[in-house]
Amino acid sequence: MGRAKEDAFLYEKIADELGEMIARGALRPGERLPSVRRMSEERGVSVATVVAAYQLLEHRGAAEPRPKSGHFVRARAGADTPVPTTARRAPAPTRVSIHADADDLIQVMLQARRGQVPLGCAYVATELLPLRKLNAILAQVAREGGGPGGEYADLRGSLQLRRQLARRAVRWGVALEPDELVTTLGATDALNLALASVTRPGDVIALESPTYFAFMRMLEHHGLRAIEIPTDPQTGLDLDALDDALRRAPVRAVLCSPNFQNPLGARMPDEQKERLVKMVARRGVALIEDDVYGDLAHDGSRPRAAKSFDRDGSVLLVGSMSKTLAPGYRVGWLAPGRWDEAVVRKKSAMTLACPTPTEMAVAELLDEGGYDRHLRRLRRAIADQCARYREAIARSFPEGTRVSRPQGGFVLWVELPQGTSGIALQAEALERGIAIAPGPIFSARQRFQSCIRISTGFPFSPRIERAIATLGKIAEELAPKRAA
């Protein structure tokens, strides 16, 4: 390896480590970073490498130089979002029927694509994805004989893909055989198969609060009731509140994302994942774990899935390639645990078979080994984007605004000053060609009226900066005026 390349790796590594310490609060806003000389001696790296690392942190908005004093952790106007709940206790289960207005809001957001500033839906810019390579593999797969596409795939899905996924599962801390996996049409199909296999209409599902808005649509579709569990923006589901809910309500399944939850970006610590899995196993409750953001840790690590603590098949693990590779390929999977037979039966009834060519193309890409290199680049890009969007929000939004500090994924949860309507902000923003997601769609009870979610999936640019400044101005206008 050439020295230049080694240095490139080192300065990023140092910047990532320091960034992680800042994210964890081990280095606080306003605190001085070690001097360049000290850092260079301690790490045994050149002064130039440390300078490059500090410049990268500066670029990410995490540190700032002060004349003749060194580098400091940047003070942020937006504090971390507090636990977004008014009560520690989960309210009683509620039948999910999405209010027509909320449904309209979701519809508006999903359709808000062309020409609008894309801060609404959670997907990354195509330029960050290896689509050219993946499409070339797909073309090659299609050229090689009439096999793929000419026959129905195995009911469980392409064996080649399941083998690759079983190999990758080691990184999630999970030991899986290819025959313990079922491929699906994205995570959405996997989640629906899981819900259809585990529940009957009228059952109660415990959800994080706030949670991914499409979960509410799924629950409504399956005739289920929701119980919303308070969720911490850093550590995820409040397990004491969940335990309490499991005692009080006949909960059939817990549906959650322990790794980089959408919309908060929370990462549940491993001990809590273990406690969660033990809790559901003890009560015979299913845990549907949505891990679509698991590969997108900002600090480069790959957290374990809660499924890694599963001893009796209580956990149904859901994943897909939509957030990291190609949402349009619709390649997802499900490791159904003890619901395996039920899931395979449901798949035969609902889908029969997934498209083979796309599954084979993804399997080939995984086999080639280029996926990990791509993931490293993607993680760095989204960590950088998140930091820069966060900074822009802190600069532009009214006082009293709070912004989440996600540890992975690429969405930000913004709590506006009390009384400011997230729905009004969405409407005004749309008028000006900016798409965002309003808070109430992330709750079965339309809570979080003063919140919005901003997706940071696109590289930061002057256009995005202007859009965030515009959002800040609208929020300022909408914020209730304090009496003079």
Ligand X SMILES: Cc1ncc(COP(=O)(O)O)c(C=O)c1O
Nearer to ligand X, 29 or 328 (CB): 328
CB of 212 to ligand X, least distance (A): 4
Minimum distance, C-beta of residue 256 to ligand X, in the bound complex (Å) = 9
Question: Closest approach of Cβ 400 to ligand X, in Å?
Answer: 28
The alpha carbon of 475 is separated from its chain's Cα centroid by a whole number of angstroms, namely 25
Q: Which is nearer to ligand X, 187 or 264 (CB)?
A: 187
Alpha-carbon span 62 to 70, nearest angstrom: 14
Q: How far is the CB of 379 from ligand X (least distance, A)?
A: 17
CB count, 10 Å around CB of 30?
A: 9
CB 117 within 8 A of CB 249: no
Instruction: Return the number of the residue (188 or 446) whose C-beta is nearest ligand X.
Output: 188
Instruction: Tell the smallest beta-carbon distance from residue 306 to ligand X (Å).
Output: 14
Residue placing its CB nearer to ligand X in the complex, 324 or 421: 324
CB of 55 closer than 8 Å to CB of 194: no
Give the nearest residue (CB) to ligand X: 186
Distances (CA, A) of 22 to 17, 72, 251: 9, 11, 38
Cβ distance to ligand X smaller for residue 57 or 331: 331
Closer to ligand X by Cβ: residue 190 or 393: 190
**What dihedral do alpha carbons 40, 46, 52, 56 form, nearest 10°?**
-50
Shortest distance in whole angstroms from residue 130 CB to ligand X: 17
Enumerate binding residues for ligand X (CB under 6 A): 122, 186-188, 212, 257, 262, 290, 292, 320, 322, 327, 332
Identity of the residue, 166 or 292, whose beta carbon is nearer to ligand X in the bound complex: 292
Residue closest to 259 by CA, chosen among 409, 439, 81 = 409
Q: 255 CB contacts (<8 Å, ≥6 apart)?
A: 191, 195, 205, 206, 207, 211, 215, 288, 290
3-state secondary structure of 283: helix
Give the nearest distance from C-beta 259 to ligand X in angstroms: 10
CB of 285 vs ligand X, minimal distance in Å: 20
The count of other CB atoms within 10 Å of the CB of residue 82 is 10
Integer-rounded Cα radius of gyration of the chain: 23
Least CB distance to ligand X at residue 366 (A): 16
123 closest CA partner among 377, 413, 322: 322
* Minimum CB–partner distance for residue 327 and ligand X (Å): 5
Q: Among residues 57 and 266, whose Cβ is nearest to ligand X?
A: 266
- Residue 91 or 409: the one with the smaller Cβ distance to ligand X is 409
Residue 318, number of CB atoms within 10 A of its CB? 28
Q: At what angle do helices 370-396 and 462-478 cross, to 10 degrees?
A: 40
Nearer to ligand X, 131 or 469 (CB): 131
By the 8 A CB rule, do 441 and 102 touch?
yes
Q: Which residue has the tokens 């709750």?
A: 443
CB 335 within 8 A of CB 316: yes
End-to-end CA distance of the chain: 65
- Between CA 141 and CA 158 the distance in angstroms is 13
